[in-house]
Structure formats: structure tokens, C-alpha cells
Chains A and B, each alone.
Chain A
Amino acid sequence: MTAVLPISAEPAALPQEDIQPGRWRRMPPKAKVGAVLLGLFVLTAIIGPLVTPYDPSYQNPSPDLSLHAPYGAHLLGTTQSGQDVLSQLLVGIRLTLELAFLVGVVATALSVIVGVTAAFLGGVWDELLSLVSNVFLVIPALPLLIVLLGYLQTKGQTATIVVLSVLGWPWGARVMRAQTLAIRNRDFIAAARETGEKTWRILAYEIVPNEVSLIAASFVNTVLYAIGASVALAFIGVTNLNSWSLGTMLYWAQSQQALQLGAWWWFVPPGLAVALIGAGLVLLNTGIDELGNPRLRDATSASRIAGRWLRPADPTPVLAEVSQRRGRLAGFLHSFSRSSLLDETQRGQH
């Protein structure tokens, strides 16, 4: 006699709200806060430059308007040369997010291409590409960025995007490679191969769609890196200082001693904007992590999943390292990686 539990029932038999509670309601609260925060800034970036009260570069010659505290006509006050801080902020958010978004797209695309090809081709190619990404992970990025941008005569937005993208892919590539290795040996890939699918089709239509959530997480991380790096580079003064981004705002505020002159309204808003965008991205990413690993969720707050209150679940999926056969050259290359140690010790036990 078999008792039919509601859990094992056909999904269609469950009440409608139980199976379709909406993605939004299933999201961990941290991710929701992060998404709302980011949404507000993206909205500002889209609308902001259209509604700026002044030209951000316009210098009001009136001496009264030099470093004026916030008031009706200038909601965030003015800079030393009488420029409107609010207008600069609105334009700056657009420019900074635009740069971070483009770097995120290019670097994530690179990391997907490198990571997926490495794992799929396997053998020497895999070890070679892994070696390259490990090398670029271990070389500190900021000094290299400074040297590269220092040599460029034109330090425009495009140059910064290119340089940041070129150095931003290795971490994502590592993650994508690990995931592809785990997927590669699944049955549906084998089936696709058996039916004679071309390799590029398997990659584009079978493997990559299964990694969308990971690609999203990698994208969020890269955007975070791009914002941090571009603001730091602007603060050091190796980007185009004539354009208005959050970083260049901070650069001018600092170099004209905004804080020492007590002009907090000039210095605090751009820094706070960067901090809030960053916090939104971090929250979103932790939320994504918690979605994948229920144990990391706040233990005190049981979450409502599919209409039921659930405490953080016990079993954690353990990602087993997929064992591979390596050729001689590939094995030699692999033996230089940190993970080779664990492989060997595990093999030694059996």
C-alpha cells in the first residue's frame, strides 16, 4: 500500500499558488533589497541625465555660489567653481554604471568562452587555459591597470573599458570551467553527441543555457570589480578627468580639498552612491548564493518557499570533483595547480 504524499504528487495537481509563487517571492530578502537598490540606481542612470537642472560642467562665476551649501536652487550645493553637484551626480551615475555594465558584459563573455572551451576541449587545452587564467589571477590587477593606462595617451572611456575587461575575466573563467566539467558528463550531453550535434551547437544550446545562474553571479561580481577599479583609477587620476563619473567627482572633490573646507555635500554624495551601488551588488550576490546553498540562509528566519515555511534545509549538495583522464602533457601541466594536491591525496587513499 502506498500513501500518496502531497510532495510526490504531480506538479499540476498542486494548487496554483503553490507551484507558481512567483520568482520574486521566492527570492531571499537580501537579494530583494539588493535588486531594489540597484533598480533605483539604474533608473537614475537612465532618467537622470535627461533631467539635470544644470550643465554639470557649467561654472557659475558668481562668488556667492562657490561652495554653497545645499538649498532650493542647488539641491546638493555647489562645487568650488560654482558647478551644480546634483547635475554632476546624475550624469556621473550614468557614466559609471555604463562603464561597469559594458565591462561586465565583455569580461563575462570572455570568461564564458575561455571557461567553457577549456572544460569542453579538456586535455592539454584545458590545462593550458587554466594555467593562463591562474597566472592572471595571481598577478595583482590594479598596478598593471595603472601602468597600462599610464602609457595610453588617450585615457578615454573606451580605453578604460577595454583594459578593465582584458584583466577582468580570469575569476569567472575558473568558475565556468568547474561548472562545465560537472555538466559535461551528463546524459543529455552524451545524447546530443550521439545524435551528431556539432560541438559549437552543444556548447551554445546545451551547456551555456544550463549555466545561466552562474553566469549571472559572475556578471554581478565583474560589475562590482569594474566599479571599484574604475573609481580607484579615477581617484588616482589615470582616467579622463574631464568627464563626469562618480570617480572623477571624488577626484576633484579631494584635490580641491572639499572635506577640509567643510563641503561635505560635494564629497559625500558620490562616495555614498558608489557605496550603495556596491552594497546592492553584494546583497544581490549573497542572495544568489543563498538560493543555491540553503544552509547559508539566516537560521532564525525560516523562509516561505512554495507556500510552506521551511527552516534552512539540512542536506548540502557536495560538488564532487569530476575525475578525468589526462594525457601526459596535460597531466604535467595540471600537476602545477593547487587543486592537484587534493586530487593526488584522494587518489592515494583509494
Chain B
Amino acid sequence: MPFILRRVGFYLVAAWVALTVNFFIPRAMPGNAVQSIMGKFPNLQPSAYHALEAMLGVGHPGSIWNQYGSYLVDVFHLNFGTDVSQYPASVSTLLGETIPWTLTLVGTATVIAFLVGTALGIVAGWRHGGALDRVLPGLMFLQAIPYFFFALILVELFAAKLHVFPLGQGYAQGLIPGWHWDFISSAVYHSLLPALTIVLTSIAGWMLQMRNVMITTIGEDYVIAAQAKGLPSRRVIFTYAARNALLPQLQGFGLALGFVVSGALVMEIVFSYPGIGLLLLNAVTSNDYPLMQAIFLVITFAVLLANVVVDLIIVFADPRARAREATR
């Protein structure tokens, strides 16, 4: 069985674990979710009790295995139930409205941070002890600051005081979302500061990791041999050292995606960006359990999918793996 298929198998197991955990959380927790929702919304009729039970799947008829089965079927059909706080919108509609925002902004910012950080790491590793090594402690400090704290200070500085960037939101008020220039330019303009904060806070991690792997790789015999042969530095750096140092970096990228997504959730809360993170915050503050659980599932699946892509890139980038796949 090819490597990539087996990896997909692993991600399917991970997805199933996430689904199962998600199913058992409301059933294993102390207290009654339905009652807490009824308490939170006093204008709900008592008859809504059973509707809520059905929605949350708490007082479901049938054994727990029957419930589990119908839950899996529902998720498979992307049926996450009806929303509590924004009734009667369905959870899937709300998700559909917010996911593109998050995906575009967070995806772009993460890829930029990864590329720039890796490039800087290559330079820092090659010129070990040079100017870039001196800025490393500063970058590490930037990484240690709580993300939202850093972002809020940037908002205060660039948006509130200097008026260079907008204060938040995804686009200027009064615009109707669509594929026209006014809206797109406004959306891009509004995404600049959030993207900048993500890039600035995550770049140090990529850079440090790449630098460390580069330093180890440069010490390998084949790199020294390449230098001894008198090959131009550029060729030694990119074709000999960086190329091999990139593989651990890519594996780290896959593992770090979960953290990246977590940071992005907080970013949207700071900037009131109309993505899935803000939706999650609203779900938490209004005890909207169905929405909370659906968002958890969506984020998990997105991370798993991104991991599959990373594995594909690894297979493509590692000649040993490629050769292996070809001979099968």
C-alpha cells in the first residue's frame, strides 16, 4: 500500500477519534446542557425543551449506539442541526458564511510566514553567528508575547492612533459582499493588519527551526565535499544543504498547524474578523453548544486535510520517497 494511502488511513482514524470525542463530550459532562440553555434564554417556551434535547442529541430515544450511528450519518451529510442563538439559521449555513474568510486570511498569512521564516532560517543557518543571529532573541521575545496582547497593541498604534489600517471587521460597512472591485479592495485592506500580526508572531518559530536544521546539515560530509569541490555558495546552500534541511521543516509544519489555527481563532476575536473564530467566541458566550461542536469538527477536519497536503508535498520533495512510490 503506498505511503500516502496509509497516511490517509491514519488521518481517517484521527477524524474518527475527533468525531467520537465530540459525540461523548456533551454526554460525559456534569450538568444538563439543555437546562443551561433554557436558563440562558428565559423567553423560550417549555415546549422548546424537547426540541433542544433532540438538537443536542441528549434525550434521544434509543440506545447510545443508535444515537451514535445517527450522529455519524448526520455529520456525514454535513447536517449539524439548527443554531440556538441565531435561530432558525442552520449551523451549516453559518459555517459556510464564515469559513471562506478564515481560510483565505489564515491560509495566506501562514504560508507567507512559513516561506519567509524558512528563507530567513536558511540565511541565518548559513551565516551562523551573523547579523540575523543577533535579532533572534528579539524574535523569540515576540513569540513569547501572548498573541492577542501584541495584536491589540498594534491595533491601538496603527489603527486607532495613526489611522493607517482599519480597526477591525472584514470589510467596510455598507458594502455588499460580491465579486466587485470595491468589496475586494476593502477586504484586502482590512486583512493587512491581521495578516501582519500572524506573520510577525509566527515567523520566529519557523526561522529558528530551519536555522537549527541548517546548521546541523551544513556540518554533513557531503556539504563540506561540495564546498571543497569549489561549487558556488548559492548552489551549495540551496541544492545541497537547504533542500535536505527542508524535510524536517515540512514535517514540523504539519505538526504546528493545530497551533497556527488556534492562534488564528484568537486573531479573529481581536479584529472582529467575520471568520470561524469569531463565530466560536459568539457560540461560547451564548452557550450555543451545537455550533461550538460543529466548529470544533470543522477546524479539526481542516487541519487533518492540510496534513494530507503536507504529506503529499513530503512525498514529492523527498527523492527517496518518490523512488519508492514509483517502484511499487
Contacts and interface: CB of A to CB of B under 8 A. Distances in A.
Interface of A: 30, 131, 134-144, 146-148, 150-153, 228, 231-232, 235-238, 250, 254, 259-260, 267, 271, 274-279, 281-283, 286, 289, 293, 295-296, 298-300, 314, 316, 335-338, 340-342, 344-345, 348
A138 B148 contact: no
B300 interface: yes
Contacts of B30: 152-153
Task: Give the dominant DSSP class at B's interface.
Answer: helix
Interface of B: 1, 3, 6-7, 9-11, 13-14, 17-18, 21-22, 25-26, 29-31, 33, 36, 128-129, 133, 137, 140-141, 143-149, 152-153, 156, 160, 212, 215-216, 219, 251, 254-255, 257-259, 261-262, 265-266, 269, 280-281, 283-285, 287, 289, 292-293, 295-296, 299-300, 303-304, 307, 311, 314-315, 318, 320-321, 323-324
Given A139-B17, A139-B303, A271-B149, A336 B6 contact: yes
A257 to B, nearest CB: 11
B219 A259 contact: no
B321 A345 contact: yes
Nearest to A30: B137
A335 B6 contact: yes
Given A232-B148, A271-B153, A337-B10, 16 more contacts: A137-B255, A138-B304, A140-B303, A150-B292, A151-B31, A237-B285, A250-B149, A260-B160, A274-B145, A278-B144, A279-B141, A314-B219, A335-B1, A341-B314, A341-B324, A344-B3
Nearest to A140: B258
A254 B152 contact: yes
Contacts of B296: 143-144, 146-147
Contacts, number: 188
B303 A138 contact: yes
8 contacts: A138-B258, A140-B262, A143-B300, A151-B29, A151-B31, A260-B156, A282-B144, A338-B7
A274 B144 CA distance: 8
B285 A283 contact: no
Contact of B300 (A137, A139, A336): A139
A341 B284 contact: no
A275 B141 contact: yes
